[in-house]
């Protein structure tokens, strides 16, 4: 009887530990996105957010079973994202890749340039279903353009 209780407690502890690890990974991705936009982001795409300011876009990291909520703003200094599910999202981005591929996919999108070629680069994730989009595609496009930091001097090649 005691061994069953100990087994149950260890199973519950393992499940809580796994949940904590997943939550920590989602929180780290959230912090990374905030820092990158804060350090290397451009003010141009933020100025184009007009009537959608204050609206939420939810990113669901399916493999980690976690959510990141981005709030659209017209001022880059007020850019914020949270590691939680959105209350009333106008759009959803579902990242449907293996856990080890989540960071490379998000990183590749963030490091793209904010132009038509950077937007076209998204198709390699959308067409095979690695990333699914639901809701307002225009709002998603505006958010993704705000996240794209590839035009910063850090990414320019030096000869």
- CATH of residue 44's domain is 3.30.1050.10
102-117 core/surface letters (b: 16 or more CB in 10 A; e: else): beebbeebbbbebeee
- How many domains does one find in the chain? 1
Tell me the residue range of the domain where 15 lies: 2-151
Q: What pLDDT is stored for residue 2 in this prediction?
A: 55
- Tokens matching residue 85: 């599910």
Residue 30 inside a domain? The answer is yes
Residue 136 inside a domain? The answer is yes
Terminal CA-to-CA distance of the chain, rounded, Å?
72
Q: What pLDDT is stored for residue 5 in this prediction?
A: 61
Q: Give the other-Cβ count within 10 Å of 45's Cβ.
A: 20
Residue 158 inside a domain? The answer is no
Q: What pLDDT is stored for residue 156 in this prediction?
A: 65
Residue 79 inside a domain? The answer is yes
| pTM metric for this prediction | 0.85
Average pLDDT for runs of 10 along the chain of length 159: 64 86 92 89 88 92 94 90 93 94 90 88 92 94 90 66
The CA distance from 17 to 14, in Å, is 5
Q: What pLDDT is stored for residue 129 in this prediction?
A: 92
DSSP reduced 3-state for 149: coil
Estimate to the nearest angstrom the gap between the alpha carbon of 36 and the chain centroid.
12
């Amino acid at each position: 009887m005691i061994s069953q209780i100990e087994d149950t407690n260890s199973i519950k502890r393992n499940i809580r530990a796994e949940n904590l690890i997943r939550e920590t990974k989602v929180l780290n991705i959230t912090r990374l996105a905030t820092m990158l936009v804060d350090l290397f982001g451009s003010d141009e795409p933020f100025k184009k957010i007009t009537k959608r300011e204050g609206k939420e876009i939810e990113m669901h990291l399916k493999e980690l079973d976690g959510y990141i909520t981005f709030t659209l703003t017209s001022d880059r200094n007020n850019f914020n994202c949270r590691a939680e599910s959105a209350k009333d999202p106008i759009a959803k981005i579902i990242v449907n890749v293996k856990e080890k591929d989540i960071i490379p996919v998000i990183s590749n999108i963030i490091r793209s340039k904010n132009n038509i070629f950077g937007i076209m680069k998204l198709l390699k994730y959308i067409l095979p279903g690695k990333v699914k989009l639901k809701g307002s595609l225009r709002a998603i496009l505006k958010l993704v353009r705000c996240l794209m930091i590839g035009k910063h001097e850090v990414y320019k090649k030096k000869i």
